[in-house]
């Protein structure tokens, strides 16, 4: 009987450890996007690595779009693409080839990635003024996205110009960094039906996906925090959103709350590192309102930061804040920690909570 009890005891330990290891975050793969190549060729080799996931990607996309809308969406996609920068349209042509999907499907994927991700983003500064940026990306189809998430290092002439986190099939960036310049993450602002945003893309030729704007900002040579916030505040978008921005100097942290055509609010860190606010927590609700009890990630994150204290803020401790429940939840796809002033801090872990 004792031997049997011991056996079941060890069985429990092995099972528990296996389950624990399965839940550990792991390093996202990293690839180089050569900006010196023709746009059609930049993503080709990378997307071909994810070809086996194409059926899952398309199935998830069709779950998000009602069946009766899909034919209309496929017809409208090329019209929408005419408003996109030519470079991105050409990149999507290469992605279509790499994933073996139609160009309209690729365009629809990019629009969905742009406007349907729930997230938590934090920008905070230590007592010495060092600015850190953390983000969790949450999504309904987290299982699929965990399989197709990777770090993209955009290089030109052998040098990393900017870095982002991407899904196979995505041209724009939800999470991005330009070394010694800015860090940016996008959180969804849920205002209006998804198709309001699509029609905005059709009828407003000046409006672009938010993810394209983020990539435009981090690809701009010489851009600084102030210029980035200005550009993120002014360009017409196809969807509302929260743009969380970090810089390199004291006080260079902001949450830009966007309407499609205007900016609703710009919320900033204190320009004095010793004063409040030393952190900004943005989830998917206007910071001047109270999040619903059913989805309150803001207050747990704030309590964790207060417990941490400003003096102990660092990349690893910020990762710890991003890892508490419900900031980390079963829809979290990945966690990214970044710091514009020290570009090598940038890292992304796939989460399986």
Catalytic residues: 119
- DSSP E strands in 14-117: the ranges are 26-27, 30-34
CA distance 342 to 318: 15
CA distance 24 to 46: 25
Alpha-helix runs per DSSP H in 119-167:
142-147
- DSSP E strands in the chain: the ranges are 26-27, 30-34, 118-125, 131-138, 149-156, 159-167, 175-178, 182-188, 241-246, 253-258, 263-268, 279-282, 332-338, 347-350
Collapsing DSSP to helix, strand or coil, 160 comes out as: strand
User: Nearest CA to 243 among 219, 261, 263, 227?
Assistant: 263
For the chain, how far is it from start to end, CA to CA, in angstroms?
36
User: Nearest CA to 253 among 124, 160, 105, 127?
Assistant: 124
CA distance 107 to 129: 41
Sheet architecture: strand order including 241-246: 30-34, 149-156, 159-167, 175-178, 182-188, 241-246, 253-258, 263-268
């Amino acid at each position: 009987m004792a031997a049997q009890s011991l056996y079941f005891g060890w069985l429990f330990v092995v099972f528990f450890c296996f389950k624990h290891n399965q839940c550990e975050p792991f390093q996202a793969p990293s690839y180089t996007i050569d900006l010196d190549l023709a746009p059609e060729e930049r993503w080709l080799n990378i997307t071909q690595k994810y070809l086996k996931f194409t059926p899952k990607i398309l199935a998830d996309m069709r779950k998000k779009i009602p069946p009766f809308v899909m034919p209309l969406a496929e017809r409208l996609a090329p019209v929408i693409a005419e408003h996109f920068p030519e470079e991105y349209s050409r990149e999507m042509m290469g992605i279509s080839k790499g994933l073996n999907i139609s160009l309209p499907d690729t365009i629809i994927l990019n629009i969905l990635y742009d406007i349907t991700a729930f997230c938590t983003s934090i920008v905070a500064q230590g007592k010495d003024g060092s600015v850190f940026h953390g983000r969790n990306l949450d999504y309904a189809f987290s299982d699929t996205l965990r399989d197709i998430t990777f770090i993209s290092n955009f290089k030109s002439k052998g040098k990393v110009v900017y870095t982002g986190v991407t899904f196979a099939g995505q041209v724009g960036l939800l999470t991005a960094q330009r070394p010694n310049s800015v860090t940016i993450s996008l959180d969804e602002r849920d205002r209006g039906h998804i198709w309001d945003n699509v029609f905005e893309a059709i009828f407003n030729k000046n409006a672009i996906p938010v993810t394209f704007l983020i990539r435009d900002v981090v690809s701009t040579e010489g851009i600084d925090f102030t210029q980035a916030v200005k550009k993120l505040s002014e360009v017409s978008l196809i969807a509302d959103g929260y743009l969380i921005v970090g810089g390199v100097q004291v006080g260079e942290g902001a949450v830009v709350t966007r309407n499609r055509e205007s900016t609703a609010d710009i919320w900033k860190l204190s320009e004095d590192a010793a004063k409040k606010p030393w952190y900004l927590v943005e989830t998917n609700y206007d910071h001047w309102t109270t999040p619903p009890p059913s989805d309150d990630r803001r207050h747990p994150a704030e309590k964790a930061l207060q417990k941490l204290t400003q003096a102990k803020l660092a990349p690893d401790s910020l990762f710890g804040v991003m890892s508490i429940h419900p900031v980390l939840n079963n829809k979290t796809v990945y966690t990214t920690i970044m710091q514009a002033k020290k570009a090598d801090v940038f890292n992304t872990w796939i989460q399986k909570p």
